[in-house]
Amino acid sequence: MAEVFELHFKQKAEEDLSLDSFCYEPENIYEKRLGGLYIIGELKNTLPQNEKLINKIVQVIRTKFYSFPINSFEKSFEESLKSANDFLTEEVKSDNTSWLGNLNLAVISVKNFEINFTKVGNVKIFLVRKGQITDIGERLKFQDIEPYPLKIFSNVATGKMAEDDQLIILTEEAFQAFSIESQLLNEIAKIPVEDKLYGKNLRKALKQKEKILSEISGICLLITLKQELLPKKSFIFKKEVPEFSFGKIFRPFVDKIKNLIKIPKKAPVQKDQKKKQKVFHILVNKKEGVAFKNPFSSLAKKISSLKNIKLPKIPNYSSLISNKEFKKKVTSVLIFIALLLFGFFVFKGENQRELKESESKLIKIQEKFDLAKSLVQKDEKGANELLKEALKEIMPLTGEKEPSKQEALNLKDEIEKNLNILNKLEVIKDPKLFSEIDPKKFVPQKMVIFEKELYLFSPISQGLFRINEKGEGSLIPTDQKFSLATASNNVLLFSKPNTVVPLEEAPFSLTLPSPETDFIDLAFFKDSLYFLDGKSGKIIKYPLEELAEGKEYFVPETKKIESEKSIAVDGSVWILDERNEIHKYYAGKYQETLKLDLFPYPKSFKKIFSSFALPYLFVLEPEENRIIITDKTGKIVKQFQSEKFDNLKDFAVSVQNKTIYLLNGQKVYQVQF
C-alpha cells in the first residue's frame, strides 16, 4: 500500500499553464493484481483547445492499464503507454501539434514493492531511502521525439523498492524551488516516514518555505510505500515450499493408525506426583555428616496404596486384527507411506544427480575458459569465440535454483572481464565534460560539427544552439525546427519535409521523389548531399550545383536492404540497419555486409559515421552507454563506455583533433581516440 501527498503550487498569472496530478488506487481484487497508478502532468503555453489534454492522456492510460487484469503488471503498463502514443498520434494527424515540446509528464505504477515508471520532458523522479536521495529518473534513456511517426512514451524503467522507501516526483519549477532555492528536498528526505507525525512534520517544513513556494507553479507528489496488511481471507498466488520433515509428513498417518487401533491413553500423572518423583531427598546430621534418606522406610504404605489404583482395560487385539476392514485400512496407509519414502529417495537422488551434472558442466566451462586464455597471444579471434561460447554455456547455471549458482557467477564475472579486454572496451569512470546546456535556454536532440564549433538542434523546438571551441554556448534564434544536418563548406540544416537551410544563407526547397518521402538521415561527400528515405529505403543524391533535383543512388540491379537506420559516406556508402548490420555500397552497387562480432553483445545501434580522412567507422549504441570504433573491415579498434553516458542522443567527430563529442541529455562530453 502507498501513502500519498499531493502538493500543488500555481500562480494565478500563469493562465497558459496546465498542471494536475492523478492518483488511482486499486478498487477491487482484480485491480489489486496491477497495483496503483500515479501521474503528474504539466503543459506549458497551453492553447484553449488543449486545456483538457492532460486529462485526456491520463484517462487513456488509466483505462488501458486496468482493462485486462489478467495481464502482467509490466504488460499492462506497456500497453497503457502504447495507447497514449496512439492517442497523441491522432492529435498530430489532426494538426494539433502545439503541445509538442511543451508537455512534461511522469507515469508511475506501483505493485507491492515493484515499480514501473516513465517520463517525458522535464520531470524529476527521486527515490529517498533512509535519508539518501537518488535520481532514478536518470535511468531512462530517451530517444529522439519526432512527429514522423510520433512516439512520446518510448522508454520504461523498472525497480524494486523496500518498505518506507519514498518516491518524490517534481515538475521542473517545483524541482528548482525544492532543491536549489530552498534545499527543501533535503529537509523532506530527513523526515522519518515511519513516524506517525510525518504529515505534521511535512506541513511544518513547507510552512517554513512558504514565501518561496508561493511564487512558483508546479507539482510535488510524495509516495511512501508501506507493508500492506492482508485480510484474514486472502488469495495467495505464490506458495513457498516448506522444509522437508518426516515428522510433518507421517504425523497424519500415525494419528490415523492410532484412531483405527484406538490404543487407550495412559492415565495422566498428577502434577504433585511428578514433583515428588523428581525430588532428591538429603538429610543433614551434625554427627554423621551428610547421608541419604532410606527409600524403603515407607515402602509398605506405598504398596498398600496401589490397591486403590484402577488399571486400564487391555483391548482385545486379536479380534481387532482379524477385522477385514481394519486390515484394509492399515494396508492402504502402509502402501502410501512406502510410496512417499520411495518418492523422497528418488527426489534426493535427482538432486544429487543435478548437482553432479552442474559440477561437470562447470569443470568443462572452466577448461574452455583456461584454453581461451592460453590462446590470447596466438589466436585472439579464436580466444574471443571460446570466451563467448563459455559465457553462453554458463548463463543457465547462474539461475536462482541452480545448485552451483555462486561458483557459476564467479566464473561468469571472470569470463566477462576477459571478454572486455579482448574487445578493446575502455570503461571511463569520469568522462571529460566539454559543455552543459541550460534546459531553460535549449533542449537539444542532435548536433553537427563545423570547423571547431558544435551546432545543436531539435526536430521539436525552434532555434539553433552554438558551442565554441572553449565550450561556451549561445542560442541562435530561428523560425524553423531542424531534424537533420551535415557540414561541407558550411552548416547545412534540413527542415522537414523538403527545406535546406544553409547557415546564415537563404533557405531553398528540394524536389521530393514522392509525396510520401520521409528523409531520416543525411550525409555529405564531394559536393553532394545524400538523403536516406525512411519510407522507401532509397538513397537520394542531390549535387550541390543542382540541388533542386535529386537522383536515386542505387543502380537498378543492386541488392537492396530493409529497415535502414542511418548512413555514412566516405566514397563508399555505409548503411546501418535495424539488425545492427552495416552494408557497404560503392557507385550504387552492393559490396558486402559487416556483422560486428563484439562484446558486450549489440542491442540497438543508432547512428553510423565515417570520413574519407579516417580509416574508421563510428557506431553509437545508447542502450549499452557506448560508442564503438571499428576499421572498415569490421574489426574492433576501441569501445568507450561510461555509466555517465546514460542518455546518449547523438555524436560528432572532429577529424583534425581526433575527438568524439557525445551529446548526453543536456551535457556534451568529449573523448580522444
Render 154-174 in DSSP notation, one character per residue. ---EEEE--TT-EEEEEEHHH
Collect contacts of 603-607 with beta carbons under 8 A, ≥24 apart.
Answer: 604/580, 605/565, 605/566, 605/576, 605/580, 606/143, 606/565, 606/566, 606/648, 607/521, 607/565, 607/566, 607/576, 607/650, 607/651
How far is residue 659's CA from residue 161's CA, in Å, rounded to a whole number?
A: 41
Which SS3 state, helix, strand or coil, does residue 75 take? Answer: helix
| H helix count then E strand count, the chain | 13, 37
* Rounded to 5°, angle at Cα 308 from 303 and 310: 115
419 contacts 639 by C-beta, under 8 angstroms: no
Residue 435 is predicted with a pLDDT of 97
Cα dihedral 379, 384, 387, 389 sign: negative
The answer to whether the beta carbons of residues 219 and 8 sit under 8 Å apart is yes
Amino acid identity, position 592: E
Q: Which three cell numbers stand for residue 46?
A: 497551453
CB contact at 8 A, 174 and 216: yes
**Cβ atoms of 501 and 493 closer than 8 Å:** yes
Q: Give the cell for residue 570.
A: 566516405
Rounded CA separation 650/460 (Å): 15
Q: CA 153, CA 81: separation in Å to the nearest integer? A: 6
CA dist., res. 111 & res. 487, Å (int)? 50
* Residues 113 and 225: beta-carbon distance below 8 Å: yes
Phi, psi of 388 (to 5 degrees): -70, -35
Other beta carbons within 10 angstroms of residue 23's beta carbon come to 16
- Contact partners, residue 574, CB within 8 Å, separation at least 6: 567, 568, 582, 583, 584, 585, 608, 610, 617
C-alpha cell at 290: 551428610
Residue position matching grid coordinates 572496451:
425
Pick from 198, 197, 176, 196: nearest CA to 185: 176
Predicted confidence at residue 559, as pLDDT, reads: 86
Note if the bond before 543 is cis, omega within 30 degrees. Answer: no
Q: Measuring CA to CA, how many Å separate 672 from each of 426, 428, 658?
A: 12, 12, 6
Q: How far apart are CA 353 and CA 359, in angstroms?
A: 10
CATH of domain 432-672: 2.120.10.30
Asked whether the beta carbons of 630 and 616 are under 8 A apart, the reply is yes
The 3 state secondary structure assigned to 306-354 is: HHHCCCCCCCCHHHHHCCHHHHHHHHHHHHHHHHHHHHHHHHHHHHHHH
- pLDDT at position 475: 95
Query: Where in the chain are the domains?
Result: 2-225, 345-422, 432-672
Asked if 651 contacts 663 with a C-beta cutoff of 8 angstroms, the reply is yes
Q: What is the CA radius of gyration of the chain?
A: 37
Cβ atoms of residues 443 and 458 within 8 Å: yes
| Cα 655 to Cα 239: distance, rounded to the nearest angstrom | 61
> Are the C-beta atoms of 627 and 662 separated by less than 8 Å?
yes
Q: Which three cell numbers stand for residue 657?
A: 583533433
AA identity, residue 212: I
List the grid coordinates of 173.
Answer: 519549477
Looking at CATH, the fold of the domain delimited by 2-225 is given as Phosphatase 2c; domain 1 (3.60.40)
Q: What number of residues does the chain have?
A: 673
Query: Got the DSSP string for 643-659?
Result: TT--SEEEEEEETTTTE
pTM of the model: 0.53
pLDDT along the chain (673 residues), means of 10: 83 77 82 87 90 92 82 85 90 86 91 88 89 81 47 80 88 86 86 84 88 88 71 34 47 53 46 36 38 43 49 53 64 75 61 73 89 87 91 86 79 92 95 96 96 95 95 94 93 95 91 93 94 94 82 90 92 96 96 93 96 96 97 96 96 96 97 96
Cell of 630: 571499428
Grid cell listed for 24: 488511482
For 59, counting Cβ atoms within 10 Å of its Cβ (0-12 exposed, 13-18 middle, 19+ buried), the class is middle
Q: What is the largest CA-CA distance in the chain?
A: 136
DSSP secondary structure of 108-143: EEEETTEEEEEEESSEEEEEEETTEEEEGGGG----
